[in-house]
Amino acid sequence: MTAVDLCPAARAAIGEPVLSVEVLGGGRNSRVFAASTASRTVVVKYYYRAGDDPRDRQRTERRALAFLAENGVQCIPAVLHVDREQGFTILSHVKGERIDDDRMTLDDERDFAEFVEQLRDLSEAPGASDLDNASEAFFSLEGVLSNLEGRLTRLAWRPGDLPLAAELAGFLDGRFVPALEDLSSRAKVYYRGVGLEIGQEIDRSERVLSPSDFGLHNCVKSPEGLVFFDMEYFGWDDPAKLVSDFVLHPAQGRVGESRYRVAGRMAGLFMDRPGFAERLKALLPLFALKWCAIVLNEFLAGENARRAFAGRDRDYESVLRRQLGLAQAMLERAVSGDIAARLIKQNR
């Protein structure tokens, strides 16, 4: 790959001849490159934009990184240049390695928990109230259930003559719908137990700033510690969702003891908030179902365009079969075992 893969505006903004370009891993909704000159390496990130998706990922990430930097957060990349017209941002490059559960150290666990603690403490910082809600933020049980029903409807409307249509229908009707009905009923009991109506939103004081895509897949380990990136969906959210997504996100691979410990420490930061523990028990299984639906997005036509933008050209039916298997495994996590109770128990 050569420098011609960068648009002329990006090469001009870098300010030096680009000697090499490397495609960085990940980035399902963006194209991310490491561009090297004779003196430095920077990250060039192109954001996915489409008429059917109103989210302005570039603006959200720029505002998030600016807010965090202004408030002394150092474990993030720096914004070097923003080009709104061409849809790219140039960020500082962090030299480091990826981590997983098997390679996570106690220092790494501390870095994860301390970053979330910083986010919690910045809720009252100047400018925090001006930030938008996180992507798909949910402040009521009704909002979560409505999102799940909408995702189910979109998947169920898929034409029957497309690959694996029968397998998808069998999974949705035989497994997903019964699980949704059961877990929804349980969640309503938990909410009523703490005096929350189904459509009642949690107070502003109970919310937290969240990357909304937070986990091992969006950080690197530098000599100074973990550095967190991908703030495209940053904003206000329910801390129960932040904790749930950290332990559930399928991009992080197998869940090991280290991730459970980190999630438990994260939960501990909010255990003194009224109703948090009950919301976590109610919502975590539902968010597992939401991840089931998300990994099945590959069955939807719009997702093909998004993945093509990110440069992922693979055999379509093989991708669908893999995603269906992943959804089945995620559903098992939703209905068997009690992850939320385990996280809460760590703090007693």
Q: What is the pLDDT of residues 57-90, one digit of tens each?
A: 999 999 999 999 999 999 999 999 999 999 999 9
Question: What pLDDT, on the 0 to 100 scale, is given for residue 14?
Answer: 97
Please state, in angstroms and rounded to a whole number, the distance separating the CA atoms of residues 141 and 196. Answer: 9
Q: Which is it for the CA torsion 210, 299, 27, 109, positive or negative?
A: positive
The residues spanned by each domain of the chain are: 3-92, 101-345
Q: What is the pLDDT of residues 288-318, one digit of tens each?
A: 999 999 999 988 865 555 555 555 555 788 8
Question: What pLDDT, on the 0 to 100 scale, is given for residue 1?
Answer: 41
Nearest to residue 210, comparing CAs of 121, 269, 134? Answer: 134
Question: What pLDDT, on the 0 to 100 scale, is given for residue 334?
Answer: 81
Q: What contacts 160, CB < 8 A, 6 or more positions away?
A: 166, 169
Q: Domain 101-345 - what CATH class?
A: alpha beta
Phi/psi at 44 (5° precision): -110, 120
Q: What percent of the chain has pLDDT over 70?
A: 92
Question: What pLDDT, on the 0 to 100 scale, is given for residue 28?
Answer: 62
Q: What contacts 90, CB < 8 A, 6 or more positions away?
A: 10, 13, 14, 42, 43, 44, 45, 79, 80, 81, 82
Question: What pLDDT, on the 0 to 100 scale, is given for residue 2?
Answer: 47
User: What homologous superfamily does CATH list for 3-92?
Assistant: Phosphorylase Kinase; domain 1 (3.30.200.20)
Question: What pLDDT, on the 0 to 100 scale, is given for residue 201?
Answer: 96
pLDDT value at 250 more than 90: no
Q: What is the pLDDT of residues 171-228, one digit of tens each?
A: 999 999 999 999 999 999 999 999 999 999 999 999 999 999 899 989 999 999 999 9
Question: What pLDDT, on the 0 to 100 scale, is given for residue 314?
Answer: 58
pLDDT value at 51 more than 80: no
The owner of tokens 């150290």 is: 105
Question: What pLDDT, on the 0 to 100 scale, is given for residue 159?
Answer: 67
Question: What pLDDT, on the 0 to 100 scale, is given for residue 335?
Answer: 83
